[in-house]
Amino acid sequence: MATTARTRKTTAKTTAEDDTAAAPDIEPTDSGPTAPEAAPLEPPHVDDAPEPPAAPLYVTPTEVIPDEENLADVILDDATGQPPANLDEVFVPLTPFGSTLQCTVRLIERTFLGPHHSPVTRLLQPKGAVVSENIAARIRERLDAQAARTNPNQ
């Protein structure tokens, strides 16, 4: 049995020697991408950013007015932080013969909500909102009452 082990080792040794002797000297080649010899003359093409979507041409109205217990005492023009100066120009007709009105100022109201009466500022009507006559009349009544409270002489 010892002879068979030697022959196996000898056979393995001779086959390894034959492989190295039979292989010619070949230099390894790099088959990966190569860098260009010169830089490009023009910068790469970059697309411009897409334009943002256009602003909507209409403003959706808020047709909800809070119930009587949550109505605010103060309605303000958001741009000035004061009550609207000219109450006749707050709502203007959208068309000469139509029954819808357009709000010309952004109306906000300051109120107190919740069990602890936390102060809250909320949007009553956005600028440009198209509202019905009855909604405009309700807001106009509140603005008139507010003006009568602040200026009792008028």
Provide DSSP, 25-59: -------S----SS--SSPPP-PPPPPPPPPPS-B
Q: What is the pLDDT along the chain (154 residues), one digit of tens a residue?
A: 555 555 555 555 555 555 555 555 556 566 667 776 776 677 777 888 888 877 766 655 555 555 566 566 688 888 888 888 888 889 998 888 878 889 999 998 887 777 787 888 888 889 888 888 888 898 999 888 888 887 766 5
Task: Please report, to the nearest 10 degrees, the dihedral formed by the alpha carbons of residues 61, 65, 66, 71 taken in order.
Answer: 120
Query: pTM for this structure?
Result: 0.52
Residues found in the chain: 154
Phi, psi for 18 (deg, rounded to 5): -65, -40
Enumerate residues 6+ apart whose C-beta is below 8 A from 62: 123, 124, 125, 126, 129
d(CA 52, CA 35): 39
Residue position matching structure tokens 């010892």: 2
pLDDT at residue number 146: 85
pLDDT at residue number 60: 58
Cα distances from 40 to residues 32, 103, 114, in angstroms, run 20, 59, 68
d(CA 154, CA 148): 7
